[in-house]
A and B are shown apart, each in its own frame.
Chain A
Amino acid sequence: MMGDSNAGQKFTASENIRHFLISNAVPIIFIGLSAAAIPLSGFSAGYLVQEMLTRLARNSFLVLSLLIPIMAGMGLNFGMVLGAMAGQIGLILVTDWSVVGIPGMILAAIISMPIAALLGLICGKVLNMAKGREMVTSYILGFFINGVYQFVVLYLFGMRGILSVPFTGTEIRIPITNPQLVLSRGYGIRNAINLTGIRRVLDNAFPFSMHLNIGGGTSTINIPAGTFILIAAFCVFIVWFRRTKLGQDMRAIGQDMAIADSSGIAVERTRIIAIVISTMLAAFGQIIFLQNIGTMNTYNSHEQTGMFSIAALLIGGATVSKASIANVFIGVTLFHLMFVVSPMAGKELIGQAQLGEYFRVFVSYGIIAVSLVLHAWKRMQERERARRGLRGEG
C-alpha cells in the first residue's frame, strides 16, 4: 500500500505514475470512453460545452449533498431521495399558490426544509439502528418513504378529500386549488407538472454568455451564473464545515466509531446531524435541478436522483469512504458527457439508439456495483490482515 502515511520514503517517478493511475482508474477509463464516443456521436464542441455547463449547474448541488455522510463514515447516502421528495412537495405547493420567480424558489425551499429535516431525522434514527449496513437500509428507506410520498401526493393533496377523521367528518387533505395540478377525479397531483413560474429563474438570475471559438465555428454559450454562484457558496460551506468542531467529529466517527465514542463524541447524534444536513441539502438540490428542467414528473423525478448522483460521484473517483469536491465536478462532467453522447454513439455504431440508452443504464448501475465491490473487498482484506496480526502471523 502506497500512501501519504509512508511519505518519508522516496518514490520513483514510475511508481508515482502508477499510483496515480491506480487511484484514478475510474475517471481515466471514463475519459477514454468519452474520447472514443465523442467523435462517433458527431456532436459539435460548442453543443457539448453548453450541455456540460447546463448539466453541471443542474446536478452539482445534488451530488455535493452526498459528501457529508461519506465524511461521517456512513457511506453513500441512498436516502438522499428523501430530500428530493421534500423538495418536490415544496415545488407543488409553490406552483399551486402561483408564487413565481426567485421568491417562488425561496418559498419552495422554506417549505421543504422542515419536511427534509424531519425525514432526515427519521433516516438518521433508522440508520443508527442498522450500523454497518447503512447503505442498504437507506436504500430501502428511500423506497418506503416513496410509498408514503405517493400516499400523501396521490390521496391527500387535492380539491376534495377521500379520507376523513372517523365520526367527525373532517376531511384529511392538503388543499390544492389549481385544477391544472389535480387529477380529474378531484384529488391527487397529476403526473407532469409544468414549473413555468420558476423555470430557469436561478440559472438566468445573472444573464451571462460568452462566445467560444472551437473547431472552426463560433458558438454562444450561456452560463447559468446564478446557479454556479450558489454551488460555489456551497463548496465554501463544505470546506468551512470540515474545519468546525462538528465536521471534525464527523471525520473522527468516519475513521473509527468506537474510538470516537470513547473520546466523548456523541456518535449517534452526530450521525443523525450528518444525515439531516445531507437530506436538507438534497431537497434544495432537487429544487435547483427541477428549476433547470422546468417540468416535474411528480412520481418519477426523485426516483432516479439518488442513483444518478451516486453514480456521478463514483465516476469522479470518489469511493464509499472518501470523496472530495473535485470528485463531484469531475464526476458530473464525465457521467453526463457519457449520458449525452452514448445514445448517439450507439446509433452510429450499431444503428440502434436504444442500445446506447441501455449502455448508460448499465454504466450507472455497473459503476456503483464495481465501486461497492472494490471498497468492500479492500475492507475485508484489511480485516483479514488485522486478524492475522492478532494471531502473530502478520
Chain B
Amino acid sequence: MDGKVKKFIENFGWPRIIIAAFLMCLFASTPLVGVRLDTSISDTLVRVGMNGVLVLAMVPMVQSGCGLNFGLPLGIISGLLGATTSIQIATSADIIAKSGAASGGMKYALASALQTGARGPLLFASALAIAVPCAAVLGFVYAQILNRVKGEEMMIATYVGFSSVAVMCMAWLLLPFDSAVMVWGYGGSGLRTTISTEGFWRHILSDFGSITIGRFYVPTGMFLFFAFMVFLVWAFFRTKTGTAITAVGSNPEFARASGINVDKMRTISVMFSTILGAVGILVYEQSFGFIQLYMGPLYMAFPAVAAILLGGASVNKATMTNVVVGTFLFQGILTMTPSVINNLLKSDMSEVIRIMVSNGMILYALTRKTQVKR
C-alpha cells in the first residue's frame, strides 16, 4: 500500500499534487468566503473550453521531440489573420447586400447569404478556411528553422514567435483593411487593438446547444468542438505518420536507423501544432468576444505551455489526458484565485499567483533530471 502511494506520487509529481489540492481547497472554500460555487465551476468550464485547443497545440511538437511550442504566437497570428479577414468579408458583404440586387448576381447572392441565419457559421468557417492554410505555410517555414537548430528549439521558438508578433504589429498597421468596425476611427487606416466579434461570430460555438440552469452555464458546442479536436489529434497519433512522429520524439537516432525521415516528421508535427494554434485562437476569440491584435499574442504561449506541463506532460512526452487535466487545473486556478483569495485577503493576489504557478511549472519541467538527456 505504502509503495503504491509512493509510486502514484512519483508518477503524478509533487507540484501537480500540491496544485490539485490547492484547487480543491479553493472550490471547497467557496461557500465560506461567499462566492457562488455554480458560477465558479461554470466560469472554469468556459475557460477550459476557450483555452483547450491552444493547449492541445503543444502536443504534436512535444511528441516529435521539438520541445514545448513557445512559438505558438505563429499559429495565433494565422488565426488572427483569418478572424480579421472574415470580418472584412462580412462588412463588405453587408455593403453589397444593402446596395440592392442591382449590384450584381453571384456576389450579391453570396452577400445576402451572409444576412441569413447562416451568417455566423459561414463567417466562422471562412475564418477557419483562411487561418488554416496560413498556419500551414507559416508552420512549414517555422519547421525549416527548427530542423536546423535541433536541441535548442525552445529558446529559438520563443524569439521566432516574438519576432513574428512584431512583424504582424507592422502588418496590422499597413494591411489594406477598411471595415469600419476594425480600423481606427480617426485616420481611417490601421486596425484597432481590440475588435469585437459581436454581430459576426461571437459565441458561435459556445452557444451551440448550451445549457443554462440559473447561473450555471455550459458551453456545450465549444466542448464538442474541443472533444472533436482532441479526438482528431488522438486519432492522428494512431496513424502510421503519427506513430513515426512519436518514434522520432522518443529516439531520433533509432527512428532514423529504422528508415523514418526525421526532418519530414518534425516538419509535419510543427505544421500540425501551428494549425492547431490557429484554430485554438479562433475558438478562444469566439468565446471571449474580442480579437486582440498587436502585442496581444506575445505571451500567449506561456499559459498553454504551463497548462500542459501541469497536466503531467514532460518536455518530450504529452498525452490527451495531460491536455485535459492540465487545462482544467490551470484554468481552475486562474478562475478561482481572484474570487476566493480576494475575498479572503481583501487583496487581488491572483496575478502574482498566476505568474508563479505557470512559470514555476515550466521551470520544474525544464530542470527534471530524467528529462535532460536527449
Flag whether B359 is at the interface (Cβ < 8 A).
yes
Q: Which of A88-96, A107-115, A136-144 faces chain B?
A: A136-144
Please tell me which one of the listed residues B145, B163, B355, B367 contacts residue A147 in the complex, with CB atoms under 8 A apart.
B355
Chain A, interface residues (CB within 8 Å), range: 35 or more
Q: Which of A14-22, A56-64, A218-226, A357-365 faces chain B?
A: A357-365
Chain A contacts for B165, CB-based, 8 A: 365
Chain A contacts for B374, CB-based, 8 A: 132
A361-B169, A380-B148 known; A133 and B356 CB under 8 Å?
A: no
Residue contact A362 to B155, C-beta cutoff 8 Å:
no
Q: Which of B27-35, B323-331, B345-353 faces chain A?
A: B345-353
Flag whether B160 is at the interface (Cβ < 8 A).
yes
Contact with B along A121-159 (1 / 0, CB 8 A): 000001001111101110111011011101100110000
Chain A contacts for B363, CB-based, 8 A: 126, 137, 140-141, 144
A140-B363, A354-B173, A358-B170 known; A146 and B355 CB under 8 Å?
A: yes
Flag whether B219 is at the interface (Cβ < 8 A).
no
Please tell me which one of the listed residues A147, A359, A365 contacts residue B352 in the complex, with CB atoms under 8 A apart.
A147
Chain B, interface residues (CB within 8 Å), range: 35 or more
A133–B368 Cα distance when bound, in Å, is 12
Flag whether B188 is at the interface (Cβ < 8 A).
no
Q: Which positions 54-101 of chain A face chain B at CB distance < 8 Å? A: none
A147-B355, A377-B149 known; A137 and B367 CB under 8 Å?
A: yes
Flag whether A235 is at the interface (Cβ < 8 A).
no
A143-B359, A358-B166 known; A352 and B372 CB under 8 Å?
A: no
Chain B nearest CB, measured from A61 CB (Å): 24
Residue contact A129 to B167, C-beta cutoff 8 Å:
no
Residue contact A150 to B352, C-beta cutoff 8 Å:
yes
Residue contact B359 to A380, C-beta cutoff 8 Å:
no
Residue contact A154 to B149, C-beta cutoff 8 Å:
no
A146–B359 Cα distance when bound, in Å, is 10
A143-B355, A146-B355, A151-B352 known; A369 and B163 CB under 8 Å?
A: yes
Flag whether B152 is at the interface (Cβ < 8 A).
yes
Chain A contacts for B355, CB-based, 8 A: 143-144, 146-147, 150
Contact with B along A231-267 (1 / 0, CB 8 A): 0000000000000000000000000000000000000
Chain B nearest CB, measured from A327 CB (Å): 19
**Nearest opposing residue in chain A for B371, CB measure:** A130
Chain A nearest CB, measured from B66 CB (Å): 13
Chain B contacts for A137, CB-based, 8 A: 363, 366-367
Q: Which positions 152-187 of chain A face chain B at CB distance < 8 Å? A: 154-155, 162-163, 185
Chain A nearest CB, measured from B161 CB (Å): 9
Chain A nearest CB, measured from B269 CB (Å): 18
Residue contact B367 to A362, C-beta cutoff 8 Å:
no
Please tell me which one of the listed residues B145, B166, B173 contacts residue A362 in the complex, with CB atoms under 8 A apart.
B166
Residue contact B356 to A369, C-beta cutoff 8 Å:
no
Flag whether A212 is at the interface (Cβ < 8 A).
no
Please tell me which one of the listed residues A144, A162, A355, A372 contacts residue B360 in the complex, with CB atoms under 8 A apart.
A144
Chain A contacts for B167, CB-based, 8 A: 362
A164–B263 Cα distance when bound, in Å, is 56
A130-B366, A358-B173 known; A380 and B150 CB under 8 Å?
A: yes
Flag whether B197 is at the interface (Cβ < 8 A).
no
Contact with B along A342-374 (1 / 0, CB 8 A): 000000001010110011011001101100110
Residue contact A373 to B362, C-beta cutoff 8 Å:
no
Flag whether B158 is at the interface (Cβ < 8 A).
yes
A359–B167 Cα distance when bound, in Å, is 8
Residue contact B154 to A372, C-beta cutoff 8 Å:
no
A131-B372, A358-B173 known; A140 and B166 CB under 8 Å?
A: no
**Nearest opposing residue in chain A for B159, CB measure:** A369
**Nearest opposing residue in chain A for B68, CB measure:** A136
A140-B363, A365-B162 known; A373 and B148 CB under 8 Å?
A: yes
Flag whether B215 is at the interface (Cβ < 8 A).
no
A143–B159 Cα distance when bound, in Å, is 15
Flag whether B121 is at the interface (Cβ < 8 A).
no
Flag whether A376 is at the interface (Cβ < 8 A).
yes
Residue contact A373 to B359, C-beta cutoff 8 Å:
no
Chain B nearest CB, measured from A372 CB (Å): 5
Chain B nearest CB, measured from A57 CB (Å): 28
Chain B contacts for A132, CB-based, 8 A: 151, 372, 374
Residue contact B351 to A150, C-beta cutoff 8 Å:
yes
A140-B366, A361-B166, A365-B166 known; A372 and B159 CB under 8 Å?
A: yes
Question: Lowest 6 A-B CB distances belong to which pairs?
Answer: A147-B355, A362-B166, A376-B149, A369-B159, A144-B359, A147-B356
Q: Which residues of B contact A (CB under 8 A)?
A: 70, 145, 148-152, 154-156, 158-160, 162-163, 165-167, 169-170, 173-174, 190, 302, 345-347, 349, 351-352, 355-356, 359-360, 362-363, 366-367, 369, 372, 374
Q: Write 15 A-B pairs (CB below 8 A) sorted by A numbering.
A: A126-B363, A130-B366, A131-B372, A132-B151, A133-B152, A133-B372, A144-B356, A144-B360, A147-B356, A150-B352, A155-B347, A358-B170, A372-B159, A373-B149, A376-B150
Q: A130-B367, A162-B347, A361-B166 are in contact. List 11 more A-B contacts (CB 8 A).
A: A136-B155, A143-B359, A144-B363, A352-B190, A355-B173, A358-B173, A359-B170, A366-B159, A369-B162, A369-B163, A372-B152
